[in-house]
Amino acid sequence: MRQRILVVDNEKVDRDMLQSVLEPLGFQVEQAASGFECLQVLPRFSPHLVFMDLAMPGIDGWETIRRIRRQNLTSAHIAILSANAFDKGLDNDAGIAVEDFIVKPLRVHELLDWIGRKLDLEWVSADTPAIPLPPPPAQAPPLVPPGPGPLAALDELVGLGYVRGILNKLGEIERLDPRHGEFVRVLRDLARQFQFDAMREILRQGMHDQTHDTP
């Protein structure tokens, strides 16, 4: 049986990012755009885990959790996702422990560690061999990266494992200059295979080359 996760956040880009990370791992993910929607979805979806944003219009994350507890809507483990690190150490009446508070921007390894603890999962990883590249043509097109700004933004998205954001940023880079075409093609293929380590190596090399080319 697939484990079910409910993502509650008024920001669609944040909900989509979590879904793009969790679904390829085999989880069934559903979204709620507000606390009120969360209360409606819970009885039907019956999640095993809930990721709850705090700053939402209507009722915030704290009040949503209080109502969940009072109405006994779910026994699912709940984690707070918030950009406000100050809230992490505060006492609360919602039954959220410090270890159930995850600070944004999210780090995939931290997210997976929390899921593993709550669902008693053991993540199995394997050394992935480098993807063999086909023999280059007589004149292989060079990988021409964009400037430092787009490179840094792309590197941040890769660090988050946010595939949809990565593909959108690569589309922007492709439109900047046709010379970036091969760079975009290679990274796009790697993103679709979730080869984030290989992508970061290419990005680091691009940043290194630009730093040393600067007079």
Say if residue 132's pLDDT is above 70. Answer: no
Q: What is the mean pLDDT of residues 68-81?
A: 93
Rounded mean pLDDT, 52-74: 93
- Mean pLDDT over residues 11-32, rounded? 91
Give domain 4-119's CATH architecture: 3-Layer(aba) Sandwich (3.40)
DSSP for 200-213? HHHHHHHHHHHHHH
Domain ranges of the chain: 4-119, 148-213
Residue 45: the pLDDT is: 96
> CA 155, CA 14: separation in Å to the nearest integer?
17
Q: 106, 104, 191, 176: which is closest to 145 by C-alpha?
A: 176
Q: What is the pLDDT of residue 213?
A: 61
Distance CA 159, CA 61 (A): 26
Q: How many angstroms separate the CA atoms of 81 and 10, rounded?
A: 12
| Whole-Å CA distances, 135 to 35, 99, 139, 140 | 54, 49, 11, 9
Q: What average pLDDT does this structure show over 53-77? A: 93
pLDDT digits (tens, 9 = 90+) for 180-209: 999 999 999 888 887 888 888 888 888 887
pLDDT higher than threshold 90 for residue 77: yes
Distance CA 17, CA 104 (A): 12
Is it the case that residue 149 has pLDDT exceeding 80? Answer: yes
